[in-house]
Amino acid sequence: MSARVFVGVHGSLGSLQALRRAVAEARERQAVLVAVLAWTPPGGEVAYRRAPCPPLHKVQRELAEQRLTDAFDAALGGIPTGLPVETRVVCGPPGPVLVSLAARPDDLLVVGSGRTGVLRRAFGLQPPVVRHFSMRAACPVLVVPPSAMVRDLRRRPLQRGKASV
């Protein structure tokens, strides 16, 4: 069995940062990079089970596959060369999906820190997905903090209607 580095990807700035870090970790460990995009059907799992629509499910899966490809393009300019890479698009909530895939003790799970609102930051609370990983993962979890640019953008209030030259 070869070492594996799993990374949760969905296209946000935080997940792109996590993808870049996961590539570096996989290279350092000489491991297989497994990029995972977990998605749920419109309306959620329960709504889909009540009224399944296979053609819509297929379209949503294809869109998720494209989002994963786009994430590699945005973060790295494409899938990295010289590194074994697997991509997986899985229907389900991200927390349980990633925990079930990264199930060996020698795996590494890399995730972005997620969005934190004012109250969550004030009370030092983790985002729900990160908390899920830290409580249930069978392997080490590396939570990648947002880049300095993202942290700076979060601190600034949005100014609407003003153009700066």
Among 18-32, 43-57, 102-116, 149-163, top mean pLDDT goes to 18-32
CA triple 127-13-94, angle to 5 deg? 45
Range of the domain at 59: 4-155
In sequence order, which residues have a C-beta less than 8 Å from that of residue 15 and are 6 or more positions away?
Answer: 7, 8, 9, 71, 111, 112
Domain count, the chain: 1
Condensed to tens digits (0 to 9), the pLDDT of residues 78-99 reads 999 999 999 999 999 888 899 9
Whether the per-residue pLDDT at 122 is higher than 60: the answer is no
Q: What is the pLDDT of residue 123?
A: 43
Q: Could you give the C-alpha distances from 3 to 43, 88, 133, 148, in angstroms and in order? A: 36, 17, 19, 30
Amino acid 64 reads A
**Residue 165 lies inside a defined structural domain of this protein:** no
**Residue 162 lies inside a defined structural domain of this protein:** no
DSSP letters along 117-129, please?
-HHHHHTTPPPHH
Whether the CB-CB separation of 138 and 99 falls below 8 Å is answered with: yes
Whether the per-residue pLDDT at 152 is higher than 70: the answer is no
**Residue 86 lies inside a defined structural domain of this protein:** yes
Amino acid 132 reads H
Q: What is the pLDDT of residue 164?
A: 52
Q: What is the pLDDT of residue 41?
A: 82
**Residue 11 lies inside a defined structural domain of this protein:** yes
**Residue 93 lies inside a defined structural domain of this protein:** yes
The single residue listed with the structure tokens 């990633």 is 98
**Residue 141 lies inside a defined structural domain of this protein:** yes
Whether the CB-CB separation of 139 and 105 falls below 8 Å is answered with: yes
**Residue 30 lies inside a defined structural domain of this protein:** yes
CATH of the domain at 115: 3.40.50.620
Reported pTM: 0.80
**Residue 74 lies inside a defined structural domain of this protein:** yes
The single residue listed with the structure tokens 């979890």 is 141
